[in-house]
Amino acid sequence: MPATRLLRLIDPERAHTAAVRLLSAWGATGTVLRPRVPRLETRVAGLTFANPLGLAAGVDKDARAIPGWFALGFGAVEVGTLTPLPQPGNAKPRLFRLHEDAAVINRFGFNNGGQAEGIARAGAATRGGVLGINVGANKDAADRVADYVAGVTAAARVADYVTINISSPNTPRLRDLQEGAALRDLLAACRAAKGATPLFLKVAPDLSPTQIDDIARAAIDGGADALIMGNTTVSRPALASRHKGETGGLSGAPLRALARERLSDFRRATGGALPLVAVGGVDTGAEAYARIRAGASLVQVYTAMVYGGPGLPARMLRELDALLRRDGFACVADAVGVD
């Protein structure tokens, strides 16, 4: 039985941990699966990406398998979320596969071994592309802005870009940092801490039109270099799985329609003045291409890896290359926002 099928038979969180460990071991000696597709090279926020396909934060929280992820084909790998102090996260069980829906619900709560170990591990790793480090605040932090500043300061010494994640639904009141003055103060503090390293802002898909406009303006005025739209959703479209009633953030195929809508909303709200990174229900080269045409400069995957397996990134890249060639685009940047 293939290892990926075997992993699906065991507890989801144990399977996730085992998969990262396997990839960590394989990454040092395994065959590089990334196809050579020069058309896919693109430049965003002053960084050159071999291709626009990235691994989203949350898959490799503690930066344990960076070479392996790049070997699978990703042009960028974003590790974390890392908090200043180690924390166990929420009580188990906290990860649920929704097989019938090609989805996942998680309520991890920023479980990680802390920034000191994670950032050191990331700095020592051999990288085959752009490395992002995603930082957050500890659940019991007295000053969450100070936690983000500490994370940005430490991660900027190592990462090609740093993401401030204020969009997880699994840390109480974290999403309040997306609002008004709180967001502007956070961006100002993190901008001062980042030095020359690009700063990305990751926001939720569960936003009103007024919130979208306010976040877009704050991100532009606050000097963010890109905006990642988005994270998991607390909304619940129609689902078939027996786990559909679990609390937490929903990701995967059922998030696709909402993620597409929010990407278009932020493209409109930013007027193309800020690069956008699309996340949520991206599981094929065709879907990645649709997001690019809708305004995304980069795309990321997470849940699709659970159902698509390790060959998914290479398949997506070949399909994306074929679609660009079919439509006469010489490079990814030429297709961004054409729709």
Query: Which is the catalytic residue, given 168, 241, 251, 297?
Result: 168
Q: Which two tokens stand for residue 48?
A: 């050159």
Report, as an integer, the average pLDDT of 241-264: 96
Q: 1 falls in which pLDDT band (50, 70, 90)?
A: very low
What global pTM score does this model have? 0.94
Phi, psi of 127 (to 5 degrees): -115, 145
Got the DSSP string for 223-260?
T-SEEEE---BS------STTTT--SEEEEGGGHHHHH
Q: What is the pLDDT of residues 281-292, one digit of tens each?
A: 999 999 999 999
Torsion of CA 164, 168, 174, 178, to 10 degrees: 60
In percent, the amount of the chain with pLDDT more than 90 equals: 82
Secondary structure (H, E, C), 6-55: HHCCCCHHHHHHHHHHHHHHHHCCCCCCCCCCHHHCEEECCEEECCCEEE
Position 8 scores a pLDDT of 57
Secondary structure (H, E, C), 43-61: EECCEEECCCEEECCCCCC
The yes-or-no verdict on residue 37 having pLDDT over 70 is yes
User: Is 251 known to be catalytic?
Assistant: no
Q: What is the pLDDT of residues 65-74, one digit of tens each?
A: 999 999 999 9
Got the DSSP string for 118-142?
HHHHHHHS--SSEEEEEE---TT-S
Q: What angle do CA 144, 148, 149 make, to 5 degrees?
A: 115
Q: What angle do CA 79, 136, 165 make, to 5 degrees?
A: 75
Q: What is the pLDDT of residues 187-229, one digit of tens each?
A: 999 999 999 999 999 999 999 999 999 999 999 999 999 999 9
**Domains of the chain, earliest start first:** 3-335 (3.20.20.70)
d(CA 124, CA 139): 28
The contacts of residue 22 (CB under 8 Å, 6+ apart) are 3
Phi, psi of 42 (to 5 degrees): -150, 160
